């Protein structure tokens, strides 16, 4: 069983509803009598997809609330900026602990949002002087 890309794997799935059976057959390497890493990841993601949706929604809401409140409040005082860092850091930590792929992607989005907020804050402070 040779290595295949994710695109090839998705395109090879049967559209008639045999996706689960095909995934289990692809996960088992009959020559070596063991499960492959690709198949293990696919089966594990299938079991944890509900957690993935929950964490994605939680990370989006937590990051949005933290960024909105932090940016709004950081104009008037320094507590808002600390709240921004704590809220985004907490959301990132929860996403990493539960460990889904979607939440891990949102960690990158949160980091980019933090950097954008810091740059915006610096520009805002410089324009005051």
| Domain total in the chain | 2
In a structure prediction context, what are the per-residue pLDDT tens digits for the chain, which is 129 residues long? Answer: 566 665 555 555 544 445 555 555 555 555 555 555 565 555 555 545 555 566 666 667 766 766 666 666 666 666 656 666 666 666 666 555 555 555 556 666 777 777 777 777 787 777 776
Pair (61, 16) in one structural domain: no
**123 lies in which domain range?**
49-128
Do the domain assignments include residue 1? no
Do the domain assignments include residue 24? yes
Pair (38, 60) in one structural domain: no
Pair (27, 61) in one structural domain: no
Pair (93, 76) in one structural domain: yes
Pair (32, 61) in one structural domain: no
Cα 69 to chain centroid distance, Å, stands at 22
- pTM for the model stands at 0.27
């Amino acid at each position: 069983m040779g290595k295949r890309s994710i695109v090839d794997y998705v395109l090879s799935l049967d559209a008639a509803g045999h996706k689960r059976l095909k995934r289990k057959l692809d996960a088992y390497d009959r020559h070596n009598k063991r499960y492959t890493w690709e198949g293990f990841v696919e089966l594990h993601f299938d079991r944890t997809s509900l957690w993935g949706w929950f964490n994605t929604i939680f990370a989006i809401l937590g990051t949005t609330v933290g960024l909105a409140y932090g940016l709004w409040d950081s104009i008037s005082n320094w507590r808002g900026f600390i709240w921004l860092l704590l809220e985004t850091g907490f959301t990132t930590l929860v996403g990493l602990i539960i460990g889904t792929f979607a939440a891990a992607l949102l960690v990158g989005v949160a980091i980019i949002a933090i950097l954008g907020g810091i740059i915006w804050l610096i520009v805002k402070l410089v324009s005051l002087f």
